[in-house]
Amino acid sequence: MADKVIYTDGRDVTVTDSTLKVKSTSYRINGITRMCLWTIRPERWPGVVLMVLGVVALLIGWFVQLPADMNLTTQNGVLGANMLALWIGAALLVIGLLAVALTRERYAVRITTAEGDKNALVSRRREYVAQVVDALNKAFTFGGTGTTTAHAGTTGAKTDYVTVKK
């Protein structure tokens, strides 16, 4: 008997009543002991560090804290060290702001098997990952495995719901 397809995105992900297939990796539904929609928060500290360094450089340049003997002489004249600190500080501040603003949360179908926890599917689109998790819930129910849905909290990431086999 052929497996009943519960969900497919037409490309990389297929959920049947017995298998979760993501690209070339397959997971047996009866081998999954737990699964959840997992939120992966981005690392924003590099952008914050750049912003802090930018503000420090801006303050050094603004309050003329660099001595005149640090000025650079070029073919076009003298480039003041404090003016250079202002420009470098502004550039670091803008780069840091962009880095913080452009980093987005990612979402994963996180499963637990005998091999441990794995992010089976990762995407920036929460709705897409939620559809796969819902399909997995249907696969557990269709397979007659008896599942329960519970809320769980984790550290470092937000879990919306977890399905655990009885």
Total number of domains in the chain: 2
Residues 35 and 61 reside in one and the same domain:
no
**Contact status, residue 40 vs residue 107, Cβ threshold 8 Å:** yes
What pLDDT is attached to residue 1?
A: 58
**50 pLDDT band (50/70/90 cuts)?**
very high
What pLDDT is attached to residue 163?
A: 42
Residues 126 and 157 reside in one and the same domain:
yes
Residues 95 and 130 reside in one and the same domain:
no
What pLDDT is attached to residue 153?
A: 37
Instruction: Tell me the pairing of strands 25-28 and 147-150.
Output: unpaired
Express as a percent the part of the chain with pLDDT over 90: 73
> In the predicted model, is pLDDT for residue 31 greater than 90?
yes
- Chain centre distance of CA 60: 35
Residues 72 and 95 reside in one and the same domain:
yes
Q: What are residue 5's DSSP bridge partners? A: 16
Range of the domain at 137: 5-41+104-165
**151 pLDDT band (50/70/90 cuts)?**
very low
**74 pLDDT band (50/70/90 cuts)?**
confident
> In the predicted model, is pLDDT for residue 152 greater than 90?
no
Residues 121 and 76 reside in one and the same domain:
no
CA distance linking residue 132 with residue 139, whole number of Å: 10
